[in-house]
A and B are shown apart, each in its own frame.
Chain A
Amino acid sequence: EAGVVQSPRYKIIEKKQPVAFWCNPISGHNTLYWYLQNLGQGPELLIRYENEEAVDDSQLPKDRFSAERLKGVDSTLKIQPAELGDSAVYLCASSLASGYEQYFGPGTRLTVT
């Protein structure tokens, strides 16, 4: 069975440019998560979806970050405009439902120059 798929794996952009990350969760998983991981730190939750509904986006910086999961399957996380401090790894995870084990993708490493 395929795991959580993320693309791209690496992205380098200049500051003020937009960037988007894509995630395809494990088939049948209703809950999808986006995390941010800074170097040397544990992942921090940005947003959690139950099907197509964002049920916890309290940690998402809404002035520049947005996310969508229109059909309740794959999801896109966008940053516009990117800042130097956004350089990090962006992880996507999925689970059968909230509270179940989360399965993580390999992440997208973003470098903003």
Chain B
Amino acid sequence: DAKTTQPPSMDCAEGRAANLPCNHSTISGNEYVYWYRQIHSQGPQYIIHGLKNNETNEMASLIITEDRKSSTLILPHATLRDTAVYYCIVRVRLDQGGKLIFGQGTELSVKP
């Protein structure tokens, strides 16, 4: 199973863009990159996922490098409510169940 590496913590000023990096150098060609976040005392929340192309939704943007060995989650205008642990996950192949293997994530603190 492909593993991911994330910085343990990051700070971001409120209103600024938060850029959360993730390395996944052993990712296979048909494995997706998923991002979830977990606000204190809540269950994880799905944010976005992608395979090769950059993706954007109402929550965030996902930039995947051309070699797919790393990605960046971008929160364009971080708010205090975005303070959470952010998990970058390489989803196990669908024919092997498609399960998510969480690491320790990045604790993002958005400060006023």
Interface residues of A (CB under 8 A from B): 4, 33, 40-45, 48, 55-56, 91, 93, 98-99, 101-107
Which residues of the other chain, B, contact A107 by a CB distance below 8 angstroms?
Answer: 42-43
Q: Are A4 and B43 neighbours in the complex by a CB distance under 8 Å?
A: yes
Q: Are B46 and A42 neighbours in the complex by a CB distance under 8 Å?
A: no
Q: Are B99 and A56 neighbours in the complex by a CB distance under 8 Å?
A: yes
Q: Chain A's interface: helix, strand, loop or mixed, by majority?
A: loop
Q: What are 26 residue pairs bridging A and B, where the CB atoms are less than 8 Å apart in the complex? A: A40-B104, A41-B102, A41-B104, A42-B102, A42-B105, A44-B102, A45-B101, A48-B99, A55-B97, A91-B43, A93-B43, A93-B44, A98-B97, A98-B98, A98-B99, A99-B91, A99-B94, A99-B98, A101-B46, A101-B49, A102-B44, A102-B100, A103-B46, A105-B43, A106-B42, A107-B42
Known contacts being A40-B104, A44-B102, is A104 close to B45, with CB within 8 Å?
Answer: yes
What number of B residues sit within 8 Å (CB to CB) of A? 19
- Please give the distance in Å from B61's CB to the nearest CB on chain A: 17
